[in-house]
Copies of this chain bind each other. A is one copy, B any other.
């Protein structure tokens, strides 16, 4: 691309470093900003720099938070005996939206992935083990995505937790509510038969 302006070129180059945004999309976004009042761009920029400069991770669950102990961990009505292990803040948000979970979370910050160079020590697994070691936790629920990396991470943590007498569980895999059986993949459908539940539990 031949840019008529160095300022424009710099902005497009920076924006196109974001994942999934190529040079053309970046140019479209930047030209959009140029058509808006400058205040919008100033707000956008300051919201991003404020975020990266001031964000904290909750000291207990490692979730993104504005304060040292996040709202969920600080809430006395949550059950601290049950810990749900998730990958990142999006999973916490998704589970919170269901309003079905009243325990606490533990945010790993990723999954074990040798290809991306992420080992167990890049995640917050040690802190989870410490938490379990304190003796309050009675159940750990694995809620990672069901990919090879997710399963590997689940298994690694499971092995670390074996010596403690706590319950470990994983969220149910099966046919999504509203989905047609014929379009389900074989592994999911197979698992949903093996892990069938008493009918009265589904009512």
**Residues in chain A within 8 A of chain B (CB atoms):** 1-8, 10-11, 13-15, 17-21, 25, 27-34, 38, 40-55, 58, 63-66, 70-72, 88-90, 92-93, 96-97
Q: Give Cα A28 to B93, complex, Å.
A: 13
Copy count, this protein chain: 2
Which B-chain residue is minimally distant from A37 (CB atoms)? B52
List the B side residues contacting A10 at CB < 8 Å: 47, 50-51
> B30 contacts A48, CB within 8 Å?
yes
> A5 contacts B52, CB within 8 Å?
no
Partner of A64, one of B8, B13, B40, B58: B8
Partner of A5, one of B11, B48, B64: B64
Which B-chain residue is minimally distant from A24 (CB atoms)? B90
Q: Give Cα A17 to B16, complex, Å.
A: 17
> A5 contacts B93, CB within 8 Å?
no
If the complex has contacts A19-B28, A93-B3, are A14 and B44 also in contact, measured as CB distance less than 8 A?
yes
